[in-house]
């Protein structure tokens, strides 16, 4: 592959627009760009998560997901283009099933936290949910692949299960929600 990015500073965005993959230009605050930005932020969060100790299988899966998120960003960048397939969603379904089978059943709601790696997973989960909401909003105005929506929905579920798995592997308990008495009940 040749050099794709020979020039990073083009100055073409100085007027508040950015180029899409089909050569058209759009405002930097357009919903399509918001989705792309959310996907980029999610991918960056996964990069941070990957600096944490974790089993090699989780690392391999997260590396794959990073590449798939980059592909998904490309799909969103080219209106009408699709990249995501059933296989992408089925992979996440399989990973969720594989990891969840090793975890004890949930009896309480889980708060973000535990180990640092699990906390990073929870942050990635919330970014995935934001990206999903932005993609749903984009779908109201433009064609969006149903598989792209499914992928982001599954990815947030996967991040929740991975957080629990990484806590267990680190010997750290999940942080369970506890109903606290209201200030009027505590007197």
Place of tokens 């708060």: 111
Most confident segment among 3-7, 9-13, 59-63? 59-63
Top-confidence residue, 32 or 131: 131
Domain ranges in the chain are 39-104+118-175
Calpha distance 30→34 (Å, rounded): 6
- Per-residue pLDDT, 1: 46
The stretches of the chain forming alpha helices (DSSP H) are 31-49, 56-77, 86-100, 116-139, 146-170
- pLDDT, one tens digit per residue, over 123-170 is 999 999 999 999 999 999 999 999 999 999 999 999 999 999 999 999
Architecture of domain 39-104+118-175: Up-down Bundle (1.20)
**Rounded average pLDDT over 13-37:** 73
Top-confidence residue, 179 or 59: 59
């Amino acid at each position: 592959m040749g050099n794709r990015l020979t020039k990073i500073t083009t100055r073409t965005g100085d007027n508040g627009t950015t180029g899409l993959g089909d050569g058209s230009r759009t405002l930097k605050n357009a919903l399509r760009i918001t989705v792309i930005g959310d996907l980029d932020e999610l991918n960056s969060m996964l990069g941070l998560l990957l600096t944490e100790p974790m089993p090699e299988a989780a690392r391999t899966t997260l590396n794959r997901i990073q590449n798939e998120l980059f592909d998904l960003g490309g799909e969103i960048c080219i209106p009408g283009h699709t990249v995501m397939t059933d296989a992408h969603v089925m992979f996440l379904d399989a990973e969720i099933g594989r990891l969840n089978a090793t975890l004890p059943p949930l009896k309480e709601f889980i708060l973000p936290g535990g180990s640092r790696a699990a906390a990073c997973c929870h942050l990635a989960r919330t970014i995935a949910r934001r990206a999903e909401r932005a993609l749903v909003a984009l779908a109201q105005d433009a064609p969006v692949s149903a598989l792209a929506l499914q992928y982001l929905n599954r990815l947030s579920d996967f991040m929740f299960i991975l957080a629990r798995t990484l806590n267990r592997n680190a010997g750290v308990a999940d942080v369970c929600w506890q109903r606290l008495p209201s200030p009027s009940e505590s007197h």
